[in-house]
Amino acid sequence: MKLEQNKIDSHNADLYEKHQKKLAYLQKELPESEEIIKKLQDFQIAIPSWALGTGGTRFGRFSGAGEPGSLEQKIEDVGLLHAINKSSGAISLHIPWDIPQDAEKIKNLAKSYGLKFDAVNSNTFQDQKGQEHSYKFGSLHHVDPNVRNQAIAHNIEVIKYGKDLGSKALTVWLADGSSFPGQLNFREAFQNTLASLQAIYAELPEDWKMFVEYKGFEPNFYSTTIADWGQSLLLANKLGEKAYTLVDLGHHQPNVNIEQIVAILLGENKLGGFHFNDSKYADDDLTAGAIKPYQLFLIFNELVDGLAYQGLDFASSLGWMIDASHNLKDPLLDLMQSVEAIKIAYAQALLVDRKALKIAQQENNVVRAQEILQDAYRTDVRPLLAESRHRNGAALNPVQLFEDLNLRAALIKERGHQGIATGL
């Protein structure tokens, strides 16, 4: 389904007057408004192909309707989302869930929606039909070199798919770990993982990056072989300059200071990208900013500061992606809410008076420093986001547009009541 521009235009016409009033007020208050609007226009957040269907839990899955059943339909969904918000101009594929049989055709289809291909993701956390060796006890860290070699070969194949589509990064997330003390020799598992990653890294094209994702626990419950940012950074440093740590917000123990991790990684120029989501307890895959919007703002505060420190362009230097797939909401509405929350945090971070903050820090003025951050955080920047969308030809209010036009009903009419978006 392609959304005609005139539907967005008439939605915008209805909301424009009210929007203008709010925007004019903010523009008077904030001299930096114009600059922020432009930065928001440029900032794109990739959508993973597995977020387009209703997620499940290990207890069950309540399928939504009208969900994409093929790679083409997943691209169509991201295209629809991008037409509505003009902020989701890339899709990230998981192989073998989304094998592009005809890469040229898939590339052209994506192009027709204004989409690029973000990082490609390998999958050695599930066994596939006909696979020779099982990943039950791990993949790149496995005690058996035959299993390791199979997992290495899979990653190299994923790079090949990515090359055909124009991707520029490989994300490696491993479920490898152990569930009981004594099961694993930690040192050997880590060394095996490094050697396997080195074999994959050797096949990485010159202009590609490798993102090494970490996760504290789950699906293993005693140890994970790449458990935290320290272990990921150690691997990335040993691998070389094309390897980076990837931060998934859901992959930390509760209360971990993620913004500090971000600051340190950026200071070392070893932060590769982000998987955005939110959580109350663990890897809950909740909508970004749904539980801890202040933390999201503090993370963006470090991102704005750290990327400027490295002299890097904000929008294009890191991999920005949502990684969430929950079981209650319409996936497209959920993604709209995540994108909105991420952009709000970015806009608020751009409002931080960095010179004043520096002075407050130099003077150890703790109260002043907090005031500066919270002044920015408590500013309602939503009219700036709406204006950036309007200038890009997107909807002033994406959620309202989706609901007013009954877009899910239209998708159900087209696709029926199917609902498996991922290979799970």
Closest alpha carbon to 299 in 334, 348, 244: 348
Strand 177-178 and strand 223-224: pairing? antiparallel
> Which residue in 323, 330, 334, 387 binds ligand PSV (CB under 6 A)?
323
Residue 67's binding partner among ligand PSV, Mn ion, none (Cβ under 5 to 8 angstroms by kind) is: none
- For the chain, how many helices (H) and strands (E)? 16, 11
User: Cα–Cα distances in Å, from 220 out to 106, 174, 196?
Assistant: 35, 10, 20
Site for ligand PSV in 259-288 (CB under 6 A): 275, 283
Q: How far is the CB of 44 from ligand PSV (least distance, A)?
A: 19
Size of the site for Mn ion (CB under 5 A): 5
Instruction: Indicate whether 340 belongs to the interface with ligand PSV (CB under 6 A).
Output: no
- In eight-state DSSP terms, residue 48 is E
Residues 249-278, mask of contacts with Mn ion (x by CB under 5 A): -x------------------------x---
Positions in 70-99 near Mn ion (CB under 5 A): none
The side-by-side arrangement of strands in the sheet containing 209-213 is: 120-121, 169-172, 209-213, 243-248, 271-276, 319-322
d(CA 390, CA 409): 25
Are 334 and 408 spatial neighbours (Cβ–Cβ below 8 Å)?
no
What's the one-letter identity of residue 354? R
Site size with ligand PSV, rule: CB under 6 A: 9
Nearer to ligand PSV, 213 or 387 (CB): 213
Task: Candidates 43, 50, 135, 214: give the one binding ligand PSV (CB under 6 A).
Answer: 50
By C-beta, is 76 or 323 nearer to ligand PSV? 323
Tokens linked to 366: 């703790």
DSSP β-bridge partners for residue 247: 274
CB of 231 closer than 8 Å to CB of 198 = no
Q: Which residues contact 160 (CB under 8 A, 6 or more apart)?
A: none
Question: Residue from 67, 213, 278, 387 that binds ligand PSV (CB under 6 A)?
Answer: 213
List the interface residues with ligand PSV, window 159-178 (CB under 6 A).
Answer: 173
- Minimal CA–CA distance to 320: which of 262, 281, 377? 262
Minimal CB distance residue for ligand PSV? 173
Chain positions 231 to 250 lying near ligand PSV, rule: CB under 6 A, are 248
Considering the complex, state which of residue 43 and residue 50 has its C-beta at the smaller distance from ligand PSV: 50
For residue 210, give the DSSP letter: E
Quick one: 226 or 239, whose CB is closer to ligand PSV?
Answer: 226
Contact positions vs ligand PSV (CB under 6 A): 50, 121, 173, 213, 215, 248, 275, 283, 323
Positions touching Mn ion (CB under 5 A) are 248, 250, 275, 283, 323
